[in-house]
A and B are shown apart, each in its own frame.
Chain A
Amino acid sequence: MTNTEVLIHDLVEKHGKNRNALMPVLQGVVACEKFLSEEAMVAVARELDLSAADVYGTASFYTFLDTKPRGKNIIRVCKTISCHMQGKEAIIKAIESHLMVKTGETSPDKKFTLLTANCLGWCHKGPVMLINDEVFPSITSEKAIEIIEEFAKKTI
């Protein structure tokens, strides 16, 4: 079995072999591998006795269940109104030029993917960004770069 298959087998053991377990299983795969590969979706379908199309149908609906390859860390900058009013534009530009990517792209060293997100629920402390599951409210361009640099150091 490949690593992905082992991971999925363990997740299904934990969450159960039924359709209701599909979201937790897919979330578990994304937590480890950052995105859902074709191989992963086919393996999940087999384990849960669903069609691969069904699994892809569910996966492709959700923003956080990426089906495209992603970097080791995913940055999501909130772009909704209050973060907009508090200067998300400058933050995104600063990160883009620091990582030398456009929004939606992955850095050449595969360490980061930069994305935007709809309201992250920190409107009183914008602008805000998530890196993976961690939240960073009230950021400035400088602070955002510092935080990203720290993640870069931790990422092999």
Chain B
Amino acid sequence: MEQKPLKKIDIIFGWDDKCTPIQVVEKTIKKTAENIILDMIDSGLKGRGGAGFPTGLKWKFCRNEDSDIKYVICNADEGEPGTFKDREILDKVPEKIFAGMTICGYVIGAREGYIYIRGEYNFMLKTLQQKIDLFNQQLHDLKVDFRVYLRSGSGAYVCGEESALFESMEGKRGEPRNKPPYPTVAGYNSKPTVINNVETLVYTSEICRMGPEQFKALGTSDSRGSKVFSVSGDTPIAGIYELELGMPLKDFVEEFGDGDSKAIQVGGASGHCVPRKKFNDTIIGFEGIPTGGSMMIFNSSRSMYNVLHDYLEFFTEESCGQCTPCRIGCQQLLKGIEAVKKGERPPTYLDDLKRLTATMKIAAKCGLGQSVANPFTSIVDNFREEIIY
């Protein structure tokens, strides 16, 4: 499998004085929307929130919809345990996000863009609003018919799911919708909407600044470009790092581990747990294990039972409760591992619970319930003894 050695990159947080975000907008909107879409598709950029949908295609689908009103939404409801990179981007280079949103608005034909930021980040609302006001003024001066607005969440993980986010913005409970229709057809206010992650929007403006070639040169054929990683857990150098995609996990552990890493949780609570024996043949990227950026390192002093227990408590609390497989499933998984630990259930009960996660994967309505199987099976399969004894 194609892979790239670990390499630190400086695109997201880098600053080009000769081509600031507003200048990127000015330069880009001289091109036709079709050409911008072609650049996005050519760059190979896939969504950085975790699901990895090709950004250029998303923009194209939305552009093709016939509607006077369309929206651009920046998903800044960063709630995945172990992820904190969007906060840093919102803090350090928000202008790049606004530029990406404006370019997207130009491409699809939207006049309004909303940033939906999680309530836990309310402390940055004031400065962010000031920067938005300044940017909106610059757009006004350039006679660009697009404005950025700010909306805040109120502490619900599930609102990071795009359709739940729309519901929340519409003043409703953050319960995911049935799909289809997809957001590009009927999103916010049931109008065609492009919803992109914070980091994705920054890459779109960076691709417009430097051209798709430079972006495409990084990464592998399935995972073009670089990605911002949030590194935490048992590491001496926790923090935010932009790395080229397609690196073997072994490289990552050598760089960030404390010499005693026994497992890496790739992609947060809803991601996969990779044990030491698989570090060598795991690639970080869409061809291997994709991640929204969360990389949590556990050393041999950690109990993987506690880790799984934490995740299941998290999902039990954050399940919106709308669909039965997720609402009841999460509770039963949590009770189930507790019962096995106490010896009230035989170890083989773990296999019944695995079957339950398989059902949840098929029957749950949204990504939250569907993804509980990822941490559950990867931890139970690799650390079965720790769950039982």
- A residues near B (Cβ < 8 Å) are 19-24, 26-27, 57-58, 61-65, 80-82, 84-85, 117-126, 130, 133-135
Contact = CB atoms under 8 A, between A and B. Distances in A.
Category for how many chain B residues contact A? 35 or more
Nearest to B189: A20
Contact of A81 (B153, B168, B296): B296
B231 A121 contact: no
A23 B118 contact: no
Given A117-B155, A133-B122, A23 B82 contact: no
B277 to A, nearest CB: 22
A119 B119 CA distance: 12
A64 B230 contact: no
Contact of A123 (B120, B296, B307): B296
A135 B230 CA distance: 18
A61 B174 contact: yes
Interface of B: 78-84, 87, 118-123, 125, 151-157, 168-175, 189, 230-234, 238-240, 269, 294, 296, 302, 306-307, 310-311, 314, 317-318, 320
Interface centre among A63, A85, A117 (most CB of B within 10 A): A85
B80 A23 contact: no
B154 A27 contact: yes
B238 A121 contact: no
A124 to B, nearest CB: 4
B314 A118 contact: yes
A124 B238 CA distance: 5
B154 A64 contact: yes
A79 to B, nearest CB: 8
Contact of A121 (B87, B172, B269, B306): B87
Given A23-B171, A57-B172, A117-B120, 12 more contacts: A19-B171, A20-B169, A27-B152, A58-B172, A61-B320, A80-B81, A80-B269, A85-B234, A118-B79, A119-B79, A123-B84, A126-B232
A81 B81 contact: yes
14 contacts: A20-B170, A27-B152, A57-B173, A58-B173, A61-B156, A63-B154, A64-B153, A65-B155, A119-B80, A119-B314, A121-B121, A124-B231, A124-B232, A133-B125
A119 B151 CA distance: 20
